[in-house]
């Protein structure tokens, strides 16, 4: 635990930012919970902002890896899209803090002109765009998907996925498993024959 204090600080900050947001997480709070003193924060990092940036980037890195680890070869092209949807639902359950951080703290910082957040949001957009573009292109070429215009369809799918992600994370997940309905919904639209 006391091995790497620098990492301790980041982990603690990550948790606190996720639990209380940026403003309500104080440098003193981070220091205390990490078992260090405040000046050490300033020895290791340039300031609160930098810590926040690092935390955000770390989370995004994990997120990107999850997306990139999705199976590249599936029985059908549509399965890839279904996987993407299911993955987001899963993250909302397994990484609620991180998800909340990106979905709540990030937009709040965006409004204040925080470049890291803008950057992360942009990256997430691009990441999904690439994944979806490739999948759609291949599916259309193979005749599996209808011949929808790709950029627009990608945008729609992205909105849907992000919408589901946010809904799962922010709302108490009372409204039961509608994710398979989402999968079905996309299938109806995308597949040529159904």
Partner DNA sequence: TATGAATGAGAATTCATTCAT
Partner DNA sequence: AATGAATGAATTCTCATTCAT
The residue ranges that bind its own copies (CB under 8 A) are 18-21, 23-24, 100, 103-105, 107-108, 110-112, 121, 125, 146, 148-149, 151-153, 155-156, 158-164, 166-167, 170-171, 175-178, 180-182, 184-186, 188-189
Q: Does residue number 5 form part of the binding site for DNA (CB under 7 A)? A: yes
Query: In whole angstroms, what is the distance from residue 6 CA to residue 20 CA?
Result: 21
Q: Which segment (30-38, 75-83, 152-160, 164-172) binds DNA by CB under 7 A?
A: 30-38
Which of the choices its own copies, DNA, none does residue 47 contact, using the CB cut-off of 5 to 8 A by kind?
DNA
Closest distance to its own copies from the beta carbon of 1 (Å): 26
Nearer Cβ to DNA (19/94): 19
Neighbour tally for 165: CB within 10 Å: 19
Closest residue by Cα to residue 90 from 69, 76, 72, 120 = 69
**Token output for 108:** 């709040």
Query: In whole angstroms, what is the distance from residue 10 CA to residue 59 CA?
Result: 11
3-state secondary structure of 69: coil
Which of the choices its own copies, DNA, none does residue 44 contact, using the CB cut-off of 5 to 8 A by kind?
DNA
Q: Which segment (46-54, 85-93, 95-103, 180-188) binds DNA by CB under 7 A?
A: 46-54
Q: What values do phi and psi take at 115, rounded to 5?
A: -65, -35
Query: In whole angstroms, what is the distance from residue 45 CA to residue 152 CA?
Result: 41
List of residues contacting DNA (CB under 7 A): 5-6, 25-29, 36-44, 47-49
């Amino acid at each position: 635990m006391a091995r790497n204090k620098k990492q301790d600080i980041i982990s603690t900050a990550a948790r606190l930012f996720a639990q209380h947001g940026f403003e309500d997480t104080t440098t003193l709070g981070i220091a205390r919970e990490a078992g260090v003193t405040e000046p050490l924060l300033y020895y290791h990092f340039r300031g609160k902002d930098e810590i926040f940036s690092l935390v955000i980037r770390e989370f995004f890195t994990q997120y990107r890896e999850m997306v990139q680890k999705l199976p590249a070869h599936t029985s059908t092209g549509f399965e890839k899209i279904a996987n993407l949807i299911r993955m987001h639902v899963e993250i909302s359950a397994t990484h609620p803090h991180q998800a909340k951080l990106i979905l709540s703290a990030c937009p709040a910082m965006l409004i204040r002109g925080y470049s890291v957040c803008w950057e992360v949001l942009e990256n997430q957009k691009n990441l999904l765009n690439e994944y979806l573009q490739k999948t759609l292109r291949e599916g259309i070429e193979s005749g599996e998907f209808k011949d929808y215009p790709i950029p627009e369809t990608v945008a729609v799918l992205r909105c849907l996925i992000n919408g589901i992600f946010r809904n799962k994370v922010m709302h108490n997940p009372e409204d039961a498993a509608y994710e398979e309905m989402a999968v079905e919904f996309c299938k109806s639209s995308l597949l040529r024959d159904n």
